[in-house]
Amino acid sequence: MMIPAIDLIDGQVVRLFQGDYQQKTQYQYTPKERQQVYADAGATVMHFVDLDGAKDNTKRQLSVLRTVVDHPSMTIQVGGGIRSEQDVKELLALGADRVVIGSLAIKEPHLVRQWIETYGGDKIVLALDVRIDENGNKQLPTHGWIKDSGVTIEDLVDDYIKVGLKHVLCTDISKDGTLSGTNVDLYIELCQKYPSIEWQASGGIGSLDDIKALIGTGVSGVILGRSLLEGKFTLEEAIACWPTR
C-alpha cells in the first residue's frame, strides 16, 4: 500500500531537508487540494505531520488538520509532537484514525503502552527512526536524531508487542530525504522477526524501482513524501507497481 505523506507548517505543505526548519521547501497548494489529488489517484491511507505541533504542542494546527482528517475514503494518521494523552484524545476527537507517536515512545514507554491498551493497537502508530551502528545494532536516537537513547528497535518492539502494538513506521535515518533507495534488508529482517506488526517503510524512496525493491519484504505500506512532491513518479504509477493482497 502506498501512503502519501504531507508535512505542514503554518497551514502550508512543506518539506524539510534532514529535519532542518531553516531548510524548507514550500509548495503552492493547500493540504486539502493535495490530499484530494492523492485520493483521486487511489490512496486509501494518508500520513500528516504537524511540524508546528512538533516544535510546540500548544501550536498544533488543529484548524488545518480538521479540514483533512475526516475523509470519506481515506484512513488518516497524524503525528507531530505528541507529548500527552490529551494530545492523543484531541486528535482522535478531531477525526484522525491513527495518532503517530515518535520520541515519546522511547522516552516514556510506560505512558505510550497505556495509550495502546486504552485506545487499541489500531489507533496508535509508533514512528521509529533507526540508526544502524558499525556493529549492526539498530539504535533509536532521540532529540532530533542527536542523542543516543541506548535502546534498539528490537528492545522497544518486544516491549510494546505485549500490549497489542500493531503499526510501526520505520525510517532508516541514513536514507531519509536522500531519494537514494531504502534499506531493504532492514525491512526483511524486521518483518520476519515481527510478522504480526504492519510495518510502514519510510525514507529514501526516489524511484519506482525503489518501491519494487520492497515487494516481498513483508512491509504493509510505503511512505511517499518528497518523491511525489518533486514528481519523481506519480502516485498512480506507484500504486500500479505494488501487488494487491
Task: Copy the grid coordinates of residue 17.
Answer: 531537508
Q: What is the pTM of this model?
A: 0.94
Q: So what CATH class is 2-240?
A: alpha beta
**Burial bucket for residue 185 (CB in 10 Å: 0-12, 13-18, 19+):** exposed
Catalytic hit among 50, 97, 129, 172: 129
CA pair distance 212, 221, nearest whole angstrom: 12
Residue 185 a catalytic site member = no
Residue 7 a catalytic site member = yes
CA pair distance 4, 80, nearest whole angstrom: 16
pLDDT of residue 174: 74
Residues paired with 46 in a beta bridge: 76
What angle do the packed helices 85-94 and 109-119 form, to 10 degrees? 30
Which segments of the chain does DSSP mark as H helices, in order? 31-41, 51-55, 62-69, 85-94, 104-107, 109-119, 153-160, 184-193, 208-212, 226-229, 235-240
Task: Of 190, 114, 113, 108, give the one whose Cα is nearest residue 149.
Answer: 108
In this structure, the dihedral spanned by the alpha carbons of residues 83, 176, 31 and 77, taken in order and rounded to 10 degrees, is -50
pLDDT of residue 172: 87
Average pLDDT per consecutive 10 residues, the chain (245 residues; last block may be shorter): 96 84 89 96 97 91 94 95 94 97 94 98 96 87 63 95 98 74 93 98 93 97 93 97 86
Name the helix (H) or strand (E) containing 99: strand 98-101
Catalytic hit among 7, 52, 87, 97: 7
Q: How many degrees, rounded to 5, is the angle at CA 18 between CA 102 and CA 228?
A: 90
